[in-house]
A and B are shown apart, each in its own frame.
Chain A
């Protein structure tokens, strides 16, 4: 795979992981195959299994959090790492194998072209056969409609955690990042901070192994929490990135 980065520019792939020993080795191997020029950082968010050891054996840098902080704080730790070690770009990839590392190129493209500060992979721009349970699909459609209305442009997949960021976005996220279920809320925050968001079509897979964190009660909590967070955000004075 050709290095698509400009000379002297560095990319950090951030993988937040909670008990992902079953899938992590494969995820990291795929990233190394698809983008050997990237550095891979796993944030072990207080896993009880061998996540950190598996990640290290697969050749990733591993930051181990002393206890579980939640996905948002874990991803933000990755942004802090990227900021402190002078990375120019980051890509967030889930540790469960849902995101295809071969598409790192695809989501980086608008960033490298200077057309966006954050690029997010969307399952729903083009129909690529990704099957979403209908209730979750309804939730995503409602959220997408609400968020599209607020940021005044069409957002199709606000829950996507497959994202690329440039230096400006890295510095913003290192300072401000929502703590749990961060993706939809951050879409609104980015817009308000003046960061340009672009969605690009991607294909997502079912997870490789391990446990999904989604249960009916959590889905309900997710919708309530995210909607509340988005509305509260609107009442805040947001600092520009």
Chain B
């Protein structure tokens, strides 16, 4: 059973790894945003291969059935990725707001300049 679980997780993690690399390669995902995904995939592979270390780690943090710890780790990784993206979204929202404010202000300036040009008599 345990070996079958290891195999399943390795296949899943490798699949994730492949998809993330492929998205970065096709420039549909920026490198900086792929790091957490790559880290998660690699971490899953390493942990599921080194069973002994994993079992000790699980027991030491009070999880008596080691495979559960794998899901806990995956869950924590998901949370970190989601939190990371919340900060990214917040930053984008702020930059977006500042850009929109500047568009409004610049548009006003442009219209003022156009009015002034129309009013200026041409020197011919």
Which residues from chain A sit less than 8 Å from chain B, CB to CB?
43, 61-67, 69, 73, 76-77, 80-81, 84, 179
| B104 and A64 form a contact (CB under 8 A) | yes
Q: Which of B90-109 contact A (CB under 8 A)?
A: 97, 100-101, 103-105, 107-108
Q: Are B103 and A179 in contact (CB under 8 A)?
A: no
- Chosen A-B contacts, 27 in total, with CB atoms closer than 8 Å, are A61-B108, A62-B108, A63-B105, A63-B107, A63-B108, A64-B104, A64-B107, A65-B100, A65-B101, A65-B103, A65-B104, A66-B100, A66-B103, A66-B104, A67-B100, A69-B97, A69-B100, A69-B101, A73-B97, A73-B100, A73-B101, A76-B101, A77-B104, A80-B101, A80-B105, A81-B105, A81-B108
Question: Does the CB pair A63–B104 fall under 8 Å?
Answer: yes
Question: Nearest-CB distance from B10 to chain A (Å)?
Answer: 43
In the complex formed, the residue of B with least CB distance to A174 is B101
List residues of chain B with CB under 8 Å of any chain A CB.
97, 100-101, 103-105, 107-108
Given the complex, which residues of A lie within 8 Å of B107, measured CB to CB? Answer: 63-64
A residues less than 8 Å from B108 (CB atoms)? 61-64, 81
| Contact assessment for A77 and B103 in the assembled complex, using a CB-CB cutoff below 8 Å | no
The SS class assigned to the A binding surface is: mixed
Q: Give bound CA distance, A62 to B100, whole Å.
A: 15
Give the chain B neighbours of A67 by CB distance below 8 A.
Answer: 100
A67 to B97, CA, bound (A): 10
Specify which chain A residues have a CB less than 8 angstroms from the CB of B103 in the assembled complex.
65-66
Which residue on chain B has the smallest CB distance to residue A77? B101
CB neighbours of B104 from chain A (8 A): 43, 63-66, 77
B111 vs chain A, min Cβ distance (A)? 9
Kindly list chain B residues whose C-beta atoms are within 8 Å of the C-beta of A43. Answer: 104
Q: Most chain-B Cβ atoms within 10 A of its Cβ — which of A61, A63, A66, A81?
A: A63
Most buried by A among B103, B107, B108: B108
With both chains docked as a complex, state the minimum distance between the C-beta of B106 and any C-beta of chain A, in angstroms.
Answer: 10
How many angstroms between the C-alpha atoms of A65 and B97 in the bound complex? 10
Can you name 14 extra interface pairs (CB under 8 A) apart from A73-B100, A77-B104, A80-B101? Answer: A43-B104, A61-B108, A62-B108, A63-B105, A63-B107, A64-B108, A65-B101, A65-B103, A66-B100, A69-B100, A73-B101, A80-B105, A81-B105, A179-B97
| Shortest Cβ distance from B107 into A: residue | A64
Say how far B110's CB is from chain A's closest CB, in angstroms.
11
With both beta carbons as reference points, the residue of chain B lying nearest to A76 in the complex is identified as: B101
* Complexed CA–CA distance, A211 and B2 (Å): 64
Residues of B within 8 A of A62 (CB): 108
What's the nearest-Cβ distance from chain A to residue B101, in Å? 5
B97: chain A residues within 8 A (beta carbon):
69, 73, 179
Residue of B nearest to A45 (CB): B104
A238 CB, min distance to chain B CBs, angstroms: 17
Q: How far is the CA of A45 from the CA of B49 in the complex (A)?
A: 56
Q: How far is the CB of A5 from chain B (nearest CB, A)?
A: 23
A63 to B101, CA, bound (A): 9
Q: Which of A73, A77, A179 contacts B105 (CB 8 A)?
A: A77
Who on chain B is nearest to A64 by CB? B104
* Cross-chain contact B105 with A84 (CB below 8 angstroms): yes
How far is it, in angstroms, between the C-alpha of A81 and the C-alpha of B105 when the chains are bound? Answer: 7
Give complex CA distance A81, B108 in Å. Answer: 10
CB-based nearest B residue for A72: B97
Which residue of chain A has the shortest Cβ distance to B93 in the bound complex? A179
Closest to B108 in A: A63
